[in-house]
Every structure is written in C-alpha cells, then in structure tokens.
Copies of this chain bind each other. A is one copy, B any other.
Amino acid sequence: MIRFESDYTEGAHERIMKRLLETNEEQTPGYGMDEHCEKARAYIRKACHAENADVHFLVGGTQTNTTIIASILRPHQGAVAAITGHISVHETGAIEAIGHKVLTLPSDDGKIQAEQVKELYDAHWNDVNHEHMVQPGLVYISHPTENGTTYSKSELEALSKVCRECGLPLVMDGARLGYGLASKGNDLSVADIARLCDVFYIGGTKIGALFGEAVVIINDALKKDFRYFIKQNGGMLAKGRLLGIQFETLFEDGLYYEISKHAVDMAIMIREAFAKKGFSFRYDSTTNQQFPILPDNVLMELSKKYSYSFWEKVDAAHSAVRFCTSWATKKKNVEILIKDIEALQ
C-alpha cells in the first residue's frame, strides 16, 4: 500500500531526526525556555521581518487554534470563518467547548473574501438587537485552505484592510503554510503574511517535523499572558526543546521551503496525470492536496494499491477524493501512481 491519504503518514525529515539524536543528552530547562527555542524564535522572526513578534511553539493544530482564539475573544464574541473551516467542522467543537460560536460564511473553495466579512460585520452592528447575537470578534482563515486553495496577496490585503477597519484581529491557520508558499503563482511571502495578519502559525506537523506549530503574534495587543493560555489549553510541552530543535532545523537555512516545494511538485505531477486522462477536479488546488473527481470503478482499481481520502459524492457514479503529497513523498512512488493512472481504462 502506497499512502496518499494525508500529509502525516511518516515521521520527520532526516535532518530533524539527526538533530534530535545529537541533542538527546543535552540538559535543558523545560517549557520552551531553552536555547533551541530561542534560536528557532530568532530564525522565525527574521523570516517574518518582524523583530518584535512573539513566537510560541505548540504541539498540534486543534490545540493551537483553540489557544489562539481563547486568548483573543471575550465570551460574547465569536470567530468568523468559512463554513468549511477546520475550526468549524473538524475539531469536535473545540472552539465551542471554550465558549465561542463559529460564525460561518458560505464558501465553496474554503476561502472567504473581504466583502463577506464586511457584510457580516455590518449586519451585526446594524441589527437593533445586536446584543442578542454573538458579536464577531476575530476572523479565522486557513492558508492554504482545507481544499488546497490559496489567497493571493491582493485578496489577503483586502481581508486585512477590512479586519483592521472593523477592529477584528485576522488569524491565519498555517498548518500547511509551506505548501501555500511553494505553490505555483503564489505571490505571498512569510513577511507579507506577518504584515497582514495579527496572529498566524507556521505548521510543522505536516511539513517535516514529528509535530509542532509555531505561533507568531504580531499585534502587540494580543501578546499579553499568552503562555498562560498555552498551559491552560494543555499545549505547554515539558520538553519544549523538542519543538525548538525542530523549528531551528526547518528555518536555519531554508529547509522548510525546500521540502514544501518538493511536496507541491509531486502533487502537480499527480494532478497533471489525472488531468491528462480527462478527469476534472473538485477544487482548483495548486498545493499538496489534489481533489480529482473519479468514477467508482477507477477508485476501486486505485484503492488496491493506494490509500487516499474520500471527500464527497459528486453524483451516483463519481466521487471527489483527496490525494496528498508531503515533504516525505517519494518521487518513485509518484511515478508508479502516474503509470497506473495512465494505464486506467
């Protein structure tokens, strides 16, 4: 079985494993106060062109989203997000569990646009009974989205502008950030993102690390007491150095970007193979997740040798599925898959 079902099917990049081994016997203070974390923070601040940013390391995505949102909202406020957003659908109500409604905006491709945010904001404040409704308190986006799509610089600038006008912090879930940065046609740098968002995170779990997400807080007003929130939400790793070592390795010389590019290259190869064969796609993805729409007999054929994720029924005889690549995807395996796609009847 060759696995394309997700981007977390292997361990970590070999350079990270090597570094973990080399440092294994070092003695360090706990909870992210060690020198590896400090170095990793410095690399990330530099990449962001944000010398004053606060950088914190957490273990996984749900925890990171919950911690960020808990630290920003007051109890009567909600997080504005696409109806397909990870916090809206796939975190077992973790945001509601800490007391907040997810205020959803319609979206077919996972993205939301500036005008939608403005409209929701105005609808709230123009309602005479607005205090009977959840007040929008922040805007949450994923880049890339759950659907593999990405924001252009102008889209993100427009969103950022509206958010600042409305006093709504803009929060970016970057669980797959590297794959967005490496996507064809991307015109956003990490520094742009740092300029346009109030808080965002750089995903490690899906891009080279065993686990780990690096939260970057740009907006000074949102920095206060964040470590309390990490601890309260169960994200304060005792051996915080493990996170520092991994992000140090990913960011000291561009490894993060390099392995992200590999994943996207592999995904595009797969995409092109499906396209050449005449299949269409559920989303117009330029990143490491591809969503071909395939007939049932093709799916049955492919599932003998490959794992992928079921996405949704498209019609009686077709489904959209997800093929994921990652930093760890072997070109050899992609070539085998492509050959099998080409051979499909």
Contacts and interface: CB of A to CB of B under 8 A. Distances in A.
Interface residues of A, number: 79
A317 interface: no
B76 A92 contact: yes
Given A92-B132, A228-B135, A11 B25 contact: yes
Interface stretch (A184-192, A237-245, A248-256, A272-280): A237-245
Q: Taking the full assembly, how many copies of this chain does it contain?
A: 4
B9 A24 contact: no
A206 interface: yes
A231 B60 contact: no
Given A60-B234, A94-B233, A96-B96, 9 more contacts: A8-B238, A11-B23, A60-B236, A66-B234, A93-B99, A93-B133, A94-B232, A94-B234, A210-B239
27 contacts: A6-B30, A9-B28, A9-B30, A10-B25, A11-B23, A11-B26, A14-B24, A17-B24, A29-B307, A59-B237, A61-B238, A62-B232, A71-B74, A76-B228, A78-B93, A90-B132, A91-B231, A93-B134, A96-B99, A98-B99, A131-B225, A131-B228, A135-B225, A135-B228, A205-B238, A206-B238, A210-B239
